[in-house]
Chains A and B, each alone.
Chain A
Amino acid sequence: MSYWEDEDPLVASTIPDVERLKRAWRNEKAAPEIFQFQAELVQRAREQVQLQEDNITVMQAEGTDDLTLSLYQMDLDRTLFLLRSYLRTRLHKIEKYMIHISKTELWDRLSEHEQGFVKRCTDAFEDHLEQSVLSHLPYGYQSILKQSISSEEDDMVPEPKLDAFVFCRSKGTIGAFQLDETGEEIVDLVEDDLYVLRYKSIKALVETGQIDLV
């Protein structure tokens, strides 16, 4: 959970959870790879949704006017949309990169439920490929991970493209920032300015919350 740890705890605690969720959702949608699952945040958002649903039921029983009720309902629906879309965006990525995720440290970024999903999904996917294609292929070409037996690496596993370009906005002035290892590509990151950069080079800044993807 490294998202907000760089921030002043006093300031951080005043950021409403909906804002945090919105940010997690945006970043998740815009980044090529999967981020750490925001377990505590999702838990809190779920509790708030539950609480608000209960409140609405109570208000209905008390005969609160329709207008007020409908406004509360809208607020609830908006939060639910964010929450669902966040989880769904993750599932899309998980489905796409399930084998890669289960082989790398990305595995630890998933929630328990998501890990269960990867296992079931991978099994189903392997069974399906096995039955429909792989079992009909000649010996040496039957691996789900490799093109042929002569491949040294698993070259049939889709991986997220970390050098994809992303749109991002710096939250504070970071100053001269090195984009590559050699130090020849330097960009001056100024607060609130928009940039299109390779995801790989700013990955660390996104993870510490210094830069937002848009």
Chain B
Amino acid sequence: MAGQTDPDLSIFSSAEVEFLAENEVVEIVPNMRMEKLEMISGDFGPFLPQIVTKVPLWLAVALKKRGKCMIRLPEWMTVERLTKVLEAERESPREFQPLPFHYVEISRLLFDHARDDIPDIYMVRNLVEDIRDVRFHKVETGLETISGRTHAVKLKNLSAMEVNIVRPFVMRALQAFYKHDSPEMIPQPDVNGSKRQQVANHGPRRDLRPR
């Protein structure tokens, strides 16, 4: 079935991550009347012209596609806020700024379907792309610190799509280090061997984000 992923790596496909992001709530301003929708995923509406209401993103996009509403730009997506986030991302080389867990997918869906509802769309788009680039660069630098002593990695504020991208690599790398470092893998407990074992067991936890 389309959208299903290779279960061996237990990765979510980007379509599946987008599916999850579409459940995030946004505000819309309808231009028509429609009764309350009593759905499996919850009750939404009633919809009245010019009255702001909250709906999941998939519903907002569906209405938007039919010209039935405008989508309000989430606060974090304004030029002002994004500029600040970008600055902060650049200033702290090891920390990730708090953004919505699905910021990549949400912004992408809005760029694709609600262009006319986003003031300064080119700037907003550039800012989001720059933020993504800076963050991803940090992720890559952070990955270099993974070693045999890594038994836990902390990724504060990493977003869903970023997790999805690094998942296969991180999982395999950690797995490989873990496997080759485990005491059973070190055959003869000679002097050197036991030393190595000690190091392996007592090593400090390495964060992607050292404290």
Q: Are A194 and B155 in contact (CB under 8 A)?
A: yes
Contact present for A185 and B152 (CB under 8 Å): yes
Q: Would you call A196 and B58 a contact (CB within 8 A)?
A: no
Is B73 in the interface zone, CB < 8 Å from A? no
Interface check A122, CB cutoff 8 A: no
Docked complex Cα distance between A7 and B6 (Å): 33
CB proximity of A186 to chain B, nearest CB, Å: 8
* A187 interface residue per 8 A CB criterion: yes
The interface residues of chain B lying within 8 Å CB-to-CB of A78 are 19, 41, 58
**Is the beta-carbon distance between A194 and B152 smaller than 8 angstroms?**
no
CB-CB under 8 A for A30 and B163, given A22-B20, A67-B68: no
Which residues of chain B are near A76, meaning CB under 8 Å?
40
Give the interface size class of chain A: 35 or more
Q: Quick one: which of B41, B154, B163, B201 contacts A16, CB cutoff 8 A?
A: B41
Asked if A107 is an interface residue, CB under 8 A from chain B, the answer is no
A185-212: which residues lie under 8 A (CB-CB) from chain B? 185-187, 193-198
Nearest chain B CB to A197 CB, angstrom units? 5
Q: How far is the CA of A165 from the CA of B163 in the complex (A)?
A: 13
- Contact between chains at A184 and B201 (CB < 8 Å): yes
- Interface residues contributed by chain B, number (CB under 8 Å): 43
- What per-residue 1/0 map shows which CB atoms of B172-196 lie under 8 Å from chain A? 0011001000000000000000000
Residue-by-residue, is B17-34 near A (CB-CB < 8 Å gives 1, otherwise 0)? 001100100000000001
Report how far A17 CA is from B40 CA in the complex, Å.
8
Check: A109 CB closer than 8 A to any chain B CB: no
Q: Would you call B37 an interface residue if the criterion is a C-beta within 8 Å of the partner chain's C-beta atoms?
A: yes
Chain B residues within 8 Å of A, Cβ to Cβ? 1, 3-5, 7, 10, 12, 16, 19-20, 23, 34-35, 37, 39-42, 58-59, 62-63, 66, 68, 151-158, 160, 163, 167, 170-171, 174-175, 178, 201-202, 205
A187-B152, A194-B157, A195-B154 are known contacts; what are 18 more A-B pairs with Cβ within 8 Å?
Answer: A18-B42, A74-B62, A78-B19, A85-B16, A88-B1, A92-B7, A96-B7, A165-B170, A165-B174, A165-B178, A166-B10, A167-B170, A182-B201, A187-B205, A193-B156, A194-B155, A194-B163, A197-B151
CB-based closest 3 A-B pairs: A75-B39, A196-B153, A92-B7
